[in-house]
């Protein structure tokens, strides 16, 4: 099986006021925040930034929105 690099999408949880990045395919459903709330997909110039070998350990990371 070939490993494809996936685009990174940014999602914002209005409840937690956080933005987190998820590696997913176009066809994947939007994820839920850890709090269980639905999240809003953000349009960002970084959306299709690819991380060479720097995969997040579990394909998922969090950061503060103002970070
Ligand atoms: Zn949340």
Q: Is the pLDDT of residue 26 over 60?
A: yes
Average the pLDDT over 28-51 and give the result: 75
Ion ligand 1 residues within 5 Å by Cβ: 13, 15-16, 33, 35, 37
In degrees, rounded to 5, the angle at the alpha carbon of residue 49 between the alpha carbons of residues 9 and 65 is: 55
Q: Is the pLDDT of residue 52 over 60?
A: no
Q: Is the pLDDT of residue 47 over 50?
A: no
Compute, in angstroms, the gap from residue 61 CA to the centroid of ligand 1.
13
Compute, in angstroms, the gap from residue 18 CA to the centroid of ligand 1.
7
Region label for 59, one of left (φ > 0), alpha (ψ between -120 and 50) or beta (otherwise)? left
pLDDT of residue 59: 54
Euclidean distance between CA atoms 61 and 46, whole angstroms? 15
Residue 7, token pair as written in the block: 């685009």
């Amino acid at each position: 099986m070939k490993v494809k690099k996936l685009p990174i999408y940014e999602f914002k949880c209005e409840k937690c006021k956080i933005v987190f990045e998820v590696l997913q395919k176009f066809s994947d459903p939007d994820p839920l925040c850890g709090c269980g709330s639905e999240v809003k997909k953000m349009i960002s110039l970084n959306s299709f930034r690819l991380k060479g070998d720097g995969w997040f350990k579990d394909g998922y990371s969090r950061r503060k929105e103002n970070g």
